[in-house]
Amino acid sequence: MSRLVLVWIVASSMIPSCDSELTDGVVWQRGEIVDVTLKAEKAVELTNVQMPAACALHCAATTGCSFFFHSQVNAICRICNQAKCDWPNSVLVSQTASQYTFYRRKLWKSCPVDHTYNSTANTCLRYDITHDAGYWWYNARRRCLLGGGHLVLIRSDQKYEALKAFLNETLTSLQSQGEDITAAAFNRPWLGGRRSTIVTDQWLWDDGSLADHDLVGKWDVQQGEPQGGGAQDKLTLSATQGYLFHNDNSQMYRHFVCEIDVAL
């Protein structure tokens, strides 16, 4: 898909009208989408909608809706009309789509049906295997964002242990279904960690916070991790190596773990 640009706005730029008019505590985050909109058969189109709050209310009332498009110029919004709207199958390139602003759900009051609530970490987790071969890191990141979440961040030992338990249970279940969980796509899922492009050998979580302290003692040093070189700049967790961290080229195909923040 050509020319996709997502520019996330910081908390001070949250949509005030949506925040004030929603009654279920959902918070929305705004981005910019260029030349992309929802396919007609995947959307409900609302007209005479001057403010995005009405779209947000409609989306919040629709099971599985995690994003919508609003055009202030045309006073139109388009939201998913299906229980589960996936990306990129729900969107298409459009010459007029640049008139639309994209909004995604940032906080949920409960986990979506395809996520599992983890009480230890107070978060919703999903191990994504929707594509047999897996995804590049940037595509995995995009799929998490447009599902209302992000690639999982591990800022504490408690979260690390919770993720290990979640992956172990998930992979055991997949193996019982006949999946080869020793394949790299399965046993080394993408996480929301990346090497800094500014400071040599510094690691960051995908929200920009420092990750070095969280990774101490958890690298697979026996396998030479973390490996040097600019291309090995994204973080994975190796299930076959004791759930230790590895760094991989972002263009390797891997499954991935999405996380959705909940306000419980």
**Rounded CA separation 189/135 (Å):** 10
| Whether residue 196 sits in one domain with residue 250 | yes
Does any domain span residue 4? no
Stretch 51-78: mean pLDDT, rounded?
A: 80
Q: What's the predicted TM-score (pTM) here? A: 0.70
Structural domain total, the chain: 2
Range of the domain at 87: 11-107
| Whether residue 157 sits in one domain with residue 139 | yes
| Whether residue 120 sits in one domain with residue 103 | no
Does any domain span residue 228? yes
Q: Which of 90, 107, 124 is the endpoint of a domain?
A: 107
Q: 174-230: per-residue pLDDT in tens?
A: 999 998 888 888 989 999 999 988 887 899 998 888 999 999 999 999 888 998 767
